[in-house]
Chain A
């Protein structure tokens, strides 16, 4: 930590010292069309931005289309939003690229993530399996948000939990991505889950 009077090598000519602002990344995952961008925009202080990642990758069986013996470049789009916590901390929410075949680039996205919300659509639960498996394997803290679409049967949470096969310790909550309060609940649930994991780990 550098104090206000500490200066770099060329201190005399430097602009005011950068104030230290730390960022935290949260990931919003789930199948295509499950409401990830809607979720992000529900709480973001800026309209969700889109950034493209041009991935040059060795073709190592990512999907059939890339099974050619050379490097391939794929462009995937990620939507993200921002929540400024205070003058020292900013939270970023990144949506994963929707299609499963882009899971190969999740490593870049999830590296350094504090935690994840996996959105599940009760009409297509299997679409969220990739994300669940991924975060379980990486030991990234996550919670499941069950997005209820208009006209879809409202399955009770215990049933959804069982169908998804998530461990008992993983919170599963209802989540309407269009509803800010509902999205807030999902995010708070995630942050509290991370808190519990951390405080437990620290106590050990």
Chain B
């Protein structure tokens, strides 16, 4: 009775996250960061994969890649690859943010905002 235990779950029983990206782990745009803001641009498309379509739907308001990853439940690296593809496809735009370029006036706004919380 006990000699026929069900087989243990193995790694093969799960869909590996990077299957979604076709096994790619690097985004075509290496400047993407987890906090990079993303926004949907262009006309709605109906020729996108499920995950891509979800991201396009999700990004009508500017949102960070980290939030996309959390929303889709995929690792950051996966989100970056897909976002990068969608930028190449002309579906998304990113806003590059470099802390060195943050102006003092922006810092003042941040301080005021935190104070007002």
Residue numbers of A with Cβ under 8 A of B are: 8, 10, 13-15, 17-25, 43, 49-56, 75, 78, 80, 82-86, 89-92, 94, 108-109, 111-114, 180, 184, 187-188, 191-192, 194-195, 198-199, 202
Contacts and interface: CB of A to CB of B under 8 A. Distances in A.
B70 A92 contact: no
A187 B114 contact: yes
A23 B64 contact: yes
Contact of B110 (A14, A108, A113, A191): A191
B107 A21 contact: no
A200 B21 CA distance: 45
Contacts of B36: 23
Interface in B33-47: 33-37, 39-43
B33 A194 contact: no
Classify chain B: how many residues form its interface, as a range: 35 or more
A18 B62 contact: yes
Contact of B35 (A13, A24, A86, A187): A24
Contacts of B77: 53-55
Nearest to B78: A54
B104 interface: yes
Nearest to A17: B41
B95 A22 contact: yes
A23 B93 CA distance: 14
A20 B97 CA distance: 11
Contacts of B33: 25, 108, 111-112
Contact of B43 (A15, A21, A86, A108): A15
A85 B35 contact: no
A92 B35 contact: yes
6 contacts: A18-B40, A18-B95, A25-B35, A49-B66, A49-B67, A53-B75
Nearest to A84: B113
Among B17, B35, B115, B117: residue with most chain A CB under 10 A: B35
B107 A194 contact: yes
Given A15-B42, A89-B106, 12 more contacts: A10-B42, A15-B40, A18-B93, A53-B77, A54-B17, A78-B66, A80-B34, A83-B117, A111-B33, A191-B111, A195-B104, A195-B108
Contacts of A13: 42-43
Contacts of A94: 34-35, 66
A21 B70 CA distance: 20
A90 B93 CA distance: 16
Contact of B37 (A14, A54, A90): A90
A52 B76 contact: yes
